[in-house]
Amino acid sequence: MGYYIFFESYLYLFLLSSLVLTITKLKGEPVEDQLVEIVERKGKGHPDYLADSLAENFSRELCKFYLRHFGRIMHHNVDKLEVVAGRSEPKFGGGKILQKILVFFSGRATTSIDNLHIELEKIATSSAKAFISKNFRFLDPEEHVRYVVETKGGAGNLTDLYRRKGVIGANDTSVGVSYYPLTQTEELIYGVERFINSNKFKEEFPFSGEDVKVMGVRIGKRLELIIACSFIDKFVRSVSDYLRKKAEIVEAIQRFVEQKSELKANISLNAADRPERGIDGCYLTVTGTSAENGDDGAAGRGNRVNGLIPVNRFICIESTAGKNPVNHVGKIYNVLAKLMAKEIYEKSGVKEVYVRLVSKIGQRIDRPLLINVSFIGKIDEKEMRNIVGKVVESKLNLDFLGKIQKIIINGQFELF
């Protein structure tokens, strides 16, 4: 593996031709053993999650269009998307939408090739409507949402990266970060949101909306679980009915938590409720998302690549949604970091693994400027070097990057 330089007991450095790989043994406690842990997850009806999803769906459909018509994915980055809230009037027994939600597409994409004009507006709107129809029961993509598409052609220097001979270069100087394993708290926060938004839950509690956000604050073995969950107004008859239904959901979540975790959880559902204020003191929606009335969303503000916002961890603000899967390292390196951290953890037996990859714009995507693997735990130095080296070689090559590209386009990899 090239030559190896030993610095200190906690740092190694490899030089693999132009590739710099460092391995760092971290000092301190794993997050699982720390006194305080804070974790958040935004669920699929949250405006930020909705923005991420619409941006990513647009990118996937663009990829499929480009492949069908030109045999390759053309330059695009449609990660700039806003969900601008509408206005609604929820009422017990059913309210109405007063002003539609606005989905605003911007970003950049290839608009024409060989005199063939690409109908970006049609692809954007149809991809958004398809996602909304599939994931929301009461949000109508025609009646409740309007669409403005301002996606334009890409900058010349970035689109030129696609036209250069040889391996496509990174289109940004960026960072990808992930880690493994999840803590008990992280698994629980993720699981609670997925539980509330599961088909089975919606069948049992049809009055629960898709807009769910879960915040977990663990202090020692005690967990404060703060959950926001929209209610569908047409299923709720009164304040007392709302409170009864709310208690049913809390009870179901409590049972789920007790089955999945040893932590002692205190559950707060819709903590801003003030029932003495009548309907205004209840979290009611017409459609199941707060985007219908005053809560905006933006792509990139949602969960990181492992589906969480983990405050105790190494994370970066570079999001994955809407970026092209060919050479936007903001997407590719986050996915790579997640896969590499998991495999290194499973093969090494250490307590925690973190992977950080840094790109240099224009440089080959299979040759990051830096790879840093950090870990907590005991392991023989030579064994760790061998494990990390083999994982890097197996993942950081064009064949594997091509596989990642395909699973992203097919929606088989969770990005947020």
Query: What's the pLDDT tens digit per position in 131-174?
Result: 999 999 999 999 999 999 999 986 545 556 565 566 788 999 99
Q: What is the mean pLDDT of the chain?
A: 93
Q: In 3D, which of 205, 206, 253 has the Cα closest to residue 227?
A: 253
Portion of the chain with pLDDT greater than 90, in percent: 88
Q: pLDDT for 353-362, tens place per residue?
A: 999 999 999 9
Bridge-based pairing of strands 222-232 and 284-285 is: parallel
Task: Specify the pTM.
Answer: 0.93
Q: In 3D, which of 315, 45, 18 has the Cα closest to residue 169?
A: 18
Q: Which residue has the tokens 């596989």?
A: 403
Tell whether the model's pLDDT for residue 30 goes beyond 70: yes
Interacting residues of 360 by C-beta distance below 8 A, sequence separation 6+: 170, 173, 368, 369
Residues of the chain with CATH 3.30.300.280: 3-28+172-182+302-409
Residues of the chain with CATH 3.30.300.10: 47-163
Q: What is the pLDDT of residue 116?
A: 85
Tell whether the model's pLDDT for residue 124 goes beyond 70: yes
- Banded model confidence at residue 1, pLDDT cuts 50, 70, 90: very low
Torsion of CA 237, 240, 243, 244, to 10 degrees: -80
Could you tell me which CATH class the domain 47-163 is placed in? Answer: alpha beta
According to CATH, the superfamily of the domain at 3-28+172-182+302-409 is: S-adenosylmethionine synthetase, C-terminal domain (3.30.300.280)
Portion of the chain with pLDDT greater than 70, in percent: 93
Q: CA dist 161 to 165, 323, 344, 362, 364, Å?
A: 9, 15, 32, 7, 10
Tell whether the model's pLDDT for residue 122 goes beyond 70: yes
Residues of the chain with CATH 3.30.300.340: 184-298
According to CATH, the superfamily of the domain at 184-298 is: S-adenosylmethionine synthetase, N-terminal domain (3.30.300.340)
Q: pLDDT for 190-246, tens place per residue?
A: 999 999 999 999 999 999 999 999 999 999 999 999 999 999 999 999 999 999 999
